[in-house]
Structure 1
Amino acid sequence: MQRFALIGAGFIGALHAQNLSLHPRASLEFVADIDPARAATLASEYGAQPIAIEDVFTADIDAVLIASSTPTHADYVERAAQAGKAIYCEKPIDLDTPRAERAVAAVRLAGVPLMIGFTRRFDASHAALKEVVAGGELGSLELVQMTCRTQQMPPITYIEASGGQMRDQTIHFFDLLCWLTDDLPVEVHVIGGALADARVGELGDVDTSIATLRMASGALVQIDSARRTGYGYDERIELSGSEGMAESRRQPHRHLALHKGGEQVLDGLHSDWLNRIEPTFYAALDTFVRGLEGEPVDYPDASDALLAQHIADAATRSLQTRMPVALALKRE
């Protein structure tokens, strides 16, 4: 059994606690939060013990799962690394890239595993795309189309602390892009606007955007992101190559078609992002646990976290300057 301490007893922390309790080879030993009462409530629900955050790093555990607020991630990553604990951290490590790089340096010095929470890699349809590309069935990739449109605006207070659409929402697709194509972008250009809520524009951010990227291979990419739709949560990816095309399609909440009176009524999309991607959280945890047990696995690590963050930083600069931004990335 891999023994975990969970830091963060909020919405995402509760989801991780549930998955840890369900996993046959993981045990949730401790729950910590800046609000001790909240930690105690979540811990009691899953038979764990509440613990002070400062005591997590000396506890008798194998791994720390960090699901606290973003500004705390880098510090907890460093402390867990120095304590020799494996780390699963929600993205990002920090909104400030140099600070994230210092935390990653601590992880590398300690030689502990670090998984970053880019869980969309574990969507079954997206993973199937990866297999198709890796198998060479599409030939040389030429065009990539990606869509991430959430069903409703998050609270404006969330937007204020999010780091902006590129670093909060689109960053998941920057990671997917590099992973699916096994390639890196050399240029990014972003346009956007506050079309759903004018207050987002007042914060210097956008809620609707299109990012175009040129990959090192020459392939061209378009990623459209929206924080509000009028029809549900919409996520899809299309890869077009010299020998074929493959797509991970938008998914309805059920696959029911009603035929009546000469009409066909189809089910609509998922009502929110969590309903669409919730299974990916368990799949990601399962991969991390199997990796801790010595199985050869593939998950987003510290290098992937920094790659996606550098792309998001460049995309943000492009959005602000309204100019393309060149990238000189390399895998470590």
Structure 2
Amino acid sequence: MKPIGIGIIGAGRIGRLHAENLVRMSGVRIVAISDLFPDPAREWAAGIGIPKVSGDYRELLRDAEIDALLICSPTGTHVDIITEAAEAGKAIFCEKPVSLELERTYAAIEAADRAGVPLQIGFNRRFDPNFRQVKAYIEDGRIGDVHAVKITSRDPNPPTPEYVKTSGGLFLDMAIHDFDMARYLSGSEITEVYAMGGVLIDPAIGEMGDIDTAMISLKFANGAFGTIDNSRKACYGYDQRVEVFGADGCLTADNEYPNNVRVFDGTGIHGEKPKYFFLERYSASYVREIEDFLAAVRGEGSVPVQGRDGLQAELAARAAGISLREGRPVKISEVIDSLKEASAT
């Protein structure tokens, strides 16, 4: 069988991570990678066997050897690239979020649908082995009907103000993973969001118009409830935990650690901090999400995280922003209605 030809757009941290995972997979080859600043990437690319580095992503769209594209460029570029890639007939994997504007996200999803090409969104946490096991137990009925989902998601250190300025804010940049995880574990759509937040860590983040700490309450269509606890700084490391409570029991997934050795001595009980940040914590899930994307490209089923999943998470993020500003619960239907009204005018 002919190997799947891959093009990667964006040679930053996440683009390089995907490339380094792909070169270890069978039945696939990286044809080219593009970046606005191609020269710094050339030595790295040559070192892992990528034959071509371009400064123009459209060269990858025109390349007949490329069957699928991974979009790892800045968020503001996603919609245009998705639209052009769909028109070129390429299968598409796009990092989250699809865009910072819901209207444009709708447009990107419609472009992929019109072209009939797969579009997978990079919600890698769904592919974490422990979170997947929690989901499997839920689907097997181990805890009965889900009543509550609790998600803790705290970064080890806050981002720079420069990053915050273009990130879309905590809800779109950070909590969007948690909105998706809440939908995934609850097995239901979010219907209402109530968000509280503030600047408790870095005043510079507040000066950029963002927050660094949030508590978010959710309601789901199936009657369950959810909470998300976000912080931009946990001094003890990257804190990623979930709990799902149901009619017949409870499921939890803890942090991952470099090792699980504990030292018991006269000063107390000591162990390692959680794995430092997302590249280490979710290394296995990054591999699995691309494996599943490649399976869909081969025609072995549909992509596991579709454009619609990206949209639903963005709707929740928009609702959270409104809730924070106005100090009230906001229904997802309200956000959708406002978009319809805006498009009609």
TM-score, shorter chain, exceeding 0.5: yes
Instruction: Kindly indicate whether residue 67 of structure 2 is the aligned counterpart of residue 50 of structure 1.
Output: no
* Correspondence 1:276 to 2:281: yes
Provide the residue aligned with 1:161 in structure 2. Answer: 166
What residue is the counterpart of 2:21 in the other structure? 19
Q: How does 1:61-76 map onto structure 2 within 5 Å?
A: 61-76=66-81
3-state DSSP class of the match of 1:295?
coil
Match of 2:239 in 1: 234
Give, in angstroms, the shift of residue 103 of structure 1.
1.1
Separation (CA, whole Å) in 2 of partners of 1:217 and 1:164: 29
Query: What is aligned with 2:131?
Result: 126
How far off its partner does 1:298 sit? 5.5
C-alpha distance in structure 2 between counterparts of 1:132 and 1:217, whole Å? 18
SS in 2 for 1:22: coil
Deviates more, 1:68-77 or 1:199-208: 199-208
Would you say the 8 A contact 2:68–2:91 is kept in 1? yes
**Cα offset, 1:297, TM superposition:** 5.8
Cα deviation, 1:28-76, whole Å, max 9, x if unaligned, reads 1101111121342343122221133121111021101110111111111
Alpha-carbon offset, residue 263 of structure 1 = 4.6
In the TM superposition, what is the alpha-carbon distance from 1:249 to its structure 2 partner?
A: 1.2
Task: Report deviation, 1:270.
Answer: 1.5
CA distance in 1, matches of 2:265, 2:19: 44
The answer on 1:304 being equivalent to 2:277 is no
Structure 2 unaligned regions, length at least 5 = 337-345
Residues 1:219 and 2:221 aligned together: no
CA RMSD of aligned residues (A): 1.6
2:340 match: none
Report if aligned partners of 1:185, 1:213 keep a CA contact under 8 Å in 2: yes
Q: Is the 8 A contact 1:3 1:29 kept in 2?
A: yes
Q: Is 1:319 aligned to 2:324, yes or no?
A: yes
Instruction: Indicate yes or no: 2:250 matched with 1:248.
Output: no
SS at match of 2:149: strand
Separation in 2 of the partners of 1:42 and 1:72? 23
Question: Are the counterparts in 2 of residues 25 and 289 from structure 1 also a CA contact under 8 Å?
Answer: no
Give the TM-score taking structure 2 as reference length.
0.92
- Which residue in 1 is equivalent to 2:179? 174
- Residue 151 of structure 1: SS of its match in structure 2? coil
4+ residue runs of structure 1 moved beyond 6 angstroms? none
Asked if the contact 1:151/1:273 (under 8 Å) is kept, the reply is no
More moved, 104-113 vs 296-305: 296-305
Report what 1:151 is aligned to.
156
Q: State the partner residue of 1:30.
A: 32
1:9/1:38 contact within 8 Å kept: no
The alpha carbon displacement at 1:185 in A equals 1.6
**Partner deviation per Cα, 1:186-229 (whole Å, 9 max, x = no partner):** 11100011111012122221100000011112211110001101
1:31/1:40 contact within 8 Å kept? no
- Partners of 1:256 and 1:305 in 2: how far apart? 38
For 2:131 and 2:24, the matched residues in 1 are separated by: 24
User: In 1, are the aligned partners of 2:202 and 2:212 still within 8 Å (CA)?
Assistant: yes
The answer to whether the 8 A contact 1:149-1:234 is kept is yes
Q: Which moved more, 1:67-76 or 1:38-47?
A: 38-47
Unaligned runs of 5+ in 1: none
Which of 57, 78, 85 is the matching residue for 1:80? 85
Q: Is the CA contact (8 Å cut-off) linking 2:106 and 2:311 kept in structure 1? A: yes
> Which residue does 1:99 correspond to in 2?
104
| Contact residue 4 and residue 30 of structure 1 kept, 8 A | yes
| SS of structure 2 residue aligned to 1:209 | strand
Distance in 2 (alpha carbons) for counterparts of 1:29 and 1:229? 40
TM-score by length of 1: 0.95
**CA-CA distance at 1:275 after TM superposition:** 1.4
Instruction: Report the alpha carbon displacement of residue 174 of structure 1 after superposing the two structures with TM.
Output: 0.6
The CA deviation at 1:262 is: 8.3
